[in-house]
Structure 1
Amino acid sequence: LWGWLRPTPAPAVNRFSLFLPPEQVLQPVTQSGNRVAISPDGKRLVYVGPAERGGRLWLREHDQLSSTPIAGTDGAGTPFFSPDGRHVGFLVNGTKLRTVSLDGGPVLTLSDSVNSTGGDWGPDGYIYVEVDSGIARLRSSGGTTELLYNALKRKEVGAEWPVLLPGARAMVFRTRRANQAATDFQIVVMKLPDGEPKVLMRGVYARYSPTGHLLVATADGKLLAVPFDPEKLEVTGSPSGLLEGIGVEGTGFAINLGLSENGTLVYTTGGATGSRRPVWVSREGVESPVDPAWQPQGIIANFALSPDGKALAVDVVQNGINTVWVKQLPAGPYSRLTFGDSGNMRPTWSADGRSVVYLADVTNTGGTPTMRRADGTGSARTLLPPGPTWGQALQTRDSRWLVLRSSFFGTGKGNIFGVRMGDTTLVPLASSPATEGDAGVSPNGRWLAYTSEESGVFEIYVRPFPDAESARWQVSAAGGSDPVWSRSGRELFYLSAQNEMMSVEVAPGAVFSINPPKRLFSTGPYTPIGPVPSFDVSPDDKRFLLLRETTPTDRNELIVVQNWVEEMKARAGR
């Protein structure tokens, strides 16, 4: 009788480090979002780990000593579990929403036109994700999207990372405005499906805890417990500090944090803010620094080397806004080229090396091709009238053409066009139902290289330029991306599906002819960029410029705390 009447002891808190061997390690940040997820019962972990090219999802069962890759998830990011823990939703390149069964079965594509960095799967049968205009939901079986929160009407540039409250009666998410620092992002709660949104506090990420708190991560890596009433949708007390140094990365656009319904917490420590640096890599794979003293003052998103190799145009993310800078090489000044409230990104160089071509007035779907002198003098010049937004823009070596790639989020999903400088008539160069990208014209102006997934995987193709419909050749044989012409035009470089730098010799003449691809070195240690090529080539074609993550970020371990809610109750005074 005494054993029945005495209070049940609180479950013991069990904290341990889950080691990830090199072949299973957490991937560096290449996409925004949360890179770890834990099942509702706390028995399964899914995270973004390595693949032959980029990342894919890996599964770690609680009773297993090793993780296993999840088939069909190459390129995946931002995993999230179904309510029963048997399926995982994920995003590919921020545009494709897919689900996969952990019990086996095909990967299902629910949408190929979202614009998302986060998602959540509700017990109501809906998946909640970001779209161009805000936050929407669609059935977990597919169908049309239903807009729930319109960020554009509120003059916000982002409404992101939706997380459902119990019963899917409401959701919390974050919002941000143009030129707003991550420290000023706001956590918002909204009753579903059409309640009035309420700002709760500042933070970069929030999710509900079964203790009756919101867990709020801040831009500087603090985790706060905020007393919260999920019925009234109101904060009911002051925040309490729980943890410091959790893995908030990419100036607040990536995080590694999950909490199960039964109170198991998973997270990483340390961030990597400002840790990317360009490095030189020889054809033999020998690395050397560009300028060890250079501090980019933000996260380098992409870059382009000037025709003479003496300057570097850099797209730097500062407080969530893309800005273009110019760095004089090897150890010269570093100066900002673009200003204003809107973002500017993905710089390339004019043919004469005196100006930078970039995308201005950036929205969630792309930007407007613009040119400005690299020394900062004069005004920026818009190259095309207002119209569709573009995801890539570059000038041909003879200065006669501008080559454009349409936004992945618009109609056509990345078709490639050309337009004569000073004209506005678009000439289709590579247009199909598949996704095309990474356009580049050879130095002699005869050939257009690009990527396409028309075969089901991305491969490298070449067409005549500008008469692109007259012929087509496939260059890669088992997957490829990031085609870049050598400065001499005698080679075409690309990245293989196995993270290797490949070289293809191109014969001179009016007929396109190539030798078989040759491997140069592994690009595994370097950071893939994504929508534009991840590397550039020196004027003598002897060195490659790539990005490296230079600050260790404890990617080889996940910290797991079982029954963490008991510890949280004590710390939060409950």
Structure 2
Amino acid sequence: MQRRLPVHYVLVLLVCLLAACATPSSPSTPTPPPALQGDTLSGRLLFSRDDGIWLWEGRTARRLINPPVTQPAFNPTGNQIACIVLHAGASDLVITDTAGAMLAQLTRNEPAAPPGSIERVYSAKWAFYPTWLPDGSGVLVSAQIAPPVGDPPADAPLAIVRYDVNGRQQVVFSDANAHLGKSVVLPSGDFIVVRTPLGSDGQQQLFRISNNQATPLPGAPTPAYDPALSPDGTWLVFAVGINGGSDLYAMPANGGSPIRLTDIGSARSPAFAPDGKTLAFLAIPPGGRGFDLYLAEVAIAGDTLQLSPPRRLSTDFAINADGGLTWAR
């Protein structure tokens, strides 16, 4: 039976095949800030658009890193950024400083074969969804560990791979029956990962990886994706696919009863503020032309997590939902 990438991976691959090869750099000219809603954001928040990675700080946003880059992730101290550089048919994991200047390239996935050639398709590799380890010593990514299969080659095996900042790499966990996507690391050292069973009808699931064993996260709905962990490691917020859209849910990080947080129909990509008191996420407002940024206060009482009514910060800014959000002091 032919195995295929999940739909969201296929879309990423098609976009990347059209992208020009480049490395991140600081923009040469200032970029105007987006339209705001009179709210101020504490700390620093990164997000992706088609024109690169943007930094939102205070009441303004500006482009920090030129395209083609996506999926930024602040390290635990907020002084480095892991992100994904898109090539024509491949992607790489890089580390930059907070000004967007390259510090290290941790993968070398772009092949020598010319763009558009079948040789390039079979020799290129992919990396997605960087997540820093709690001590900042390395980054977990969803990375391709073997050549693609199929005719056409629609399946590139994706496992969780650790890349240390000194360049060493190690496959942390692989699953012959599924692709592994975005992950978050628990205080115990276990991690929660988005697992998509192979096959065209596979749905994304939240699994816990412990002692090299993967088990479904107890109580987590399906399909579920975009996991975000609270700063104290006790709560997990994630998106759940509902009737062709999505909304945010919360549950204890070790599993439990899911709590619905939003009723927007398009909410995705949650990220906690460093103090855990605010949640940022993306959603398409009624009549909107793409994803905008929302904020809501977090209230925790016993075994319940709730959000205040969300307030919208940006206007028609077309943020890349799969690029995620990352928030630092």
Matches for 1:39-78 after TM superposition, within 5 Å? none
| CA–CA separation in structure 1 for the residues paired with 2:137 and 2:81 | 12
**1:450 shift after superposition:** 1.0
| CA–CA separation in structure 2 for the residues paired with 1:396 and 1:331 | 25
Q: Quick one: which of 433, 442, 449 aligns to 2:237?
A: 449
Alpha carbons 2:184, 2:227 under 8 Å: kept: no
Letter paired with 1:423: N
| CA–CA separation in structure 2 for the residues paired with 1:526 and 1:116 | 20
- Counterpart of 2:254 in structure 1 is 466
**1:508 shift after superposition:** 4.3
Q: Quick one: which of 448, 464, 483 aligns to 2:270?
A: 483
- Between stretches 517-526 and 478-487, larger displacement belongs to 517-526
- Counterpart of 2:28 in structure 1 is none
**1:509 shift after superposition:** 4.9
- Counterpart of 1:373 in structure 2 is 164
| CA–CA separation in structure 2 for the residues paired with 1:348 and 1:508 | 25
Change (3 A) 1:309 1:316: same
Alpha carbons 1:462, 1:473 under 8 Å: kept: yes
Q: Quick one: which of 123, 127, 131 aligns to 1:344?
A: 127
Change (3 A) 1:496 1:275: closer
- Counterpart of 1:324 in structure 2 is 93
1:388 aligns to 2:177 (yes or no): yes
| CA–CA separation in structure 2 for the residues paired with 1:509 and 1:456 | 31
Alpha carbons 2:231, 2:274 under 8 Å: kept: yes
| CA–CA separation in structure 1 for the residues paired with 2:224 and 2:207 | 11
**1:319 shift after superposition:** 2.5
Alpha carbons 1:300, 1:315 under 8 Å: kept: yes
Question: What's the TM-score once normalised by structure 1's chain length?
Answer: 0.42
1:414 aligns to 2:167 (yes or no): no
Alpha carbons 1:315, 1:323 under 8 Å: kept: yes
| CA–CA separation in structure 1 for the residues paired with 2:228 and 2:98 | 24
**1:524 shift after superposition:** 2.6
Alpha carbons 2:229, 2:236 under 8 Å: kept: yes
Tell me the SS of whatever aligns to 1:506: strand
| CA–CA separation in structure 2 for the residues paired with 1:409 and 1:385 | 13
| CA–CA separation in structure 1 for the residues paired with 2:264 and 2:305 | 19
- Counterpart of 1:95 in structure 2 is 7
**1:536 shift after superposition:** 1.5
Q: Indicate the structure whose relative CO is greater, using CA pairs within 8 Å and at least 6 residues apart.
A: 2
| CA–CA separation in structure 2 for the residues paired with 1:283 and 1:520 | 15
**1:373 shift after superposition:** 1.1
Alpha carbons 1:406, 1:412 under 8 Å: kept: no
RMSD between aligned alpha carbons? 3.3
Alpha carbons 1:305, 1:537 under 8 Å: kept: yes
Letter paired with 1:300: V
1:277 aligns to 2:52 (yes or no): yes
Q: Deviations over 1:287-306 (max 9, x none)?
A: 2343xxx666xx21322111
Change (3 A) 1:94 1:396: closer
Alpha carbons 1:404, 1:417 under 8 Å: kept: yes
Q: Quick one: which of 287, 292, 300 aligns to 1:500?
A: 292
Structure 1 portions without partners, runs of 5+? 1-92, 97-114, 118-157, 161-180, 183-248, 253-273, 541-574
| CA–CA separation in structure 1 for the residues paired with 2:55 and 2:260 | 29
Question: What's the TM-score once normalised by structure 2's chain length?
Answer: 0.70
Alpha carbons 1:359, 1:370 under 8 Å: kept: yes
Alpha carbons 2:158, 2:174 under 8 Å: kept: no
1:424 aligns to 2:213 (yes or no): yes
| CA–CA separation in structure 1 for the residues paired with 2:321 and 2:283 | 14
| CA–CA separation in structure 2 for the residues paired with 1:334 and 1:437 | 30
Larger radius of gyration: 1
Letter paired with 1:310: N
Q: Deviations over 1:465-504 (max 9, x none)?
A: 2133xx2211112221111122211222212231332222
Alpha carbons 1:462, 1:475 under 8 Å: kept: yes
Matches for 1:92-491 after TM superposition, within 5 Å? 95=7, 249-251=18-20, 276-282=51-57, 284=59, 286-290=60-64, 299-330=68-99, 332-340=101-109, 341=123, 342-361=125-144, 363=148, 364=155, 367-376=158-167, 379-396=168-185, 398-407=187-196, 410=199, 412-420=202-210, 422-429=211-218, 432=221, 434-468=222-256, 471-479=257-265, 480-491=267-278
Change (3 A) 1:332 1:323: closer
Structure 2 portions without partners, runs of 5+? 22-48, 110-122, 149-154, 286-290
Change (3 A) 1:320 1:520: same
